[in-house]
Amino acid sequence: MSALRPIESNSVSDTAFDRLVEAITSGEYAPGQKLSETELASKLGISRIPLREALGRLEGKLVTRTPRLGTRVIELSSSTLEQLFYVREALEGMAARLAAENATTAEIAALSELLALEQTRCGPNAETYLASDDEDFHFRIIKASRCEQLEKLLLETVYYRLRIYRARARIDINRAKAAMAEHRKVAAALLARDADGAERAMRHHIQASRLNLISRLNLKRPKASAG
User: What structural domains and CATH numbers belong to the chain?
Assistant: 12-73 (1.10.10.10), 78-216 (1.20.120.530)
Q: What is the DSSP string of the chain?
A: --S-PPP--S-HHHHHHHHHHHHHHTTSS-TT-EE-HHHHHHHHT--HHHHHHHHHHHBTTTEEEETTTEEEE----HHHHHHHHHHHHHHHHHHHHHHHHH--HHHHHHHHHHHHHHHHH-SS-HHHHIIIIIHHHHHHHHHHTT-HHHHHHIIIIIHHHHHHHHHHSPPPHHHHHHHHHHHHHHHHHHHTT-HHHHHHHHHHHHHHHHHHHHHHTT--PPPPPP-
Which range is most confident: 22-36, 117-131, 164-178, 189-203? 189-203
Lowest mean pLDDT among 60-74, 141-155, 168-182: 168-182
Q: pLDDT at residue 6 above 80?
A: no
Q: What is the mean pLDDT of residues 151-165?
A: 87
Q: What is the structure's pLDDT at 83?
A: 94
Does residue 170 surpass a pLDDT of 50? yes
pTM of the model: 0.80
| Per-residue pLDDT, 202 | 98
Residue 166's Cβ-count burial label (10 Å; 0-12, 13-18, 19+) is: buried
pLDDT at 175 over 90: no
Residue 225: pLDDT band with limits 50, 70, 90: very low
Q: pLDDT tens for residues 15-48?
A: 999 999 999 988 899 899 999 999 999 999 999 9
Residue 226 is predicted with a pLDDT of 45
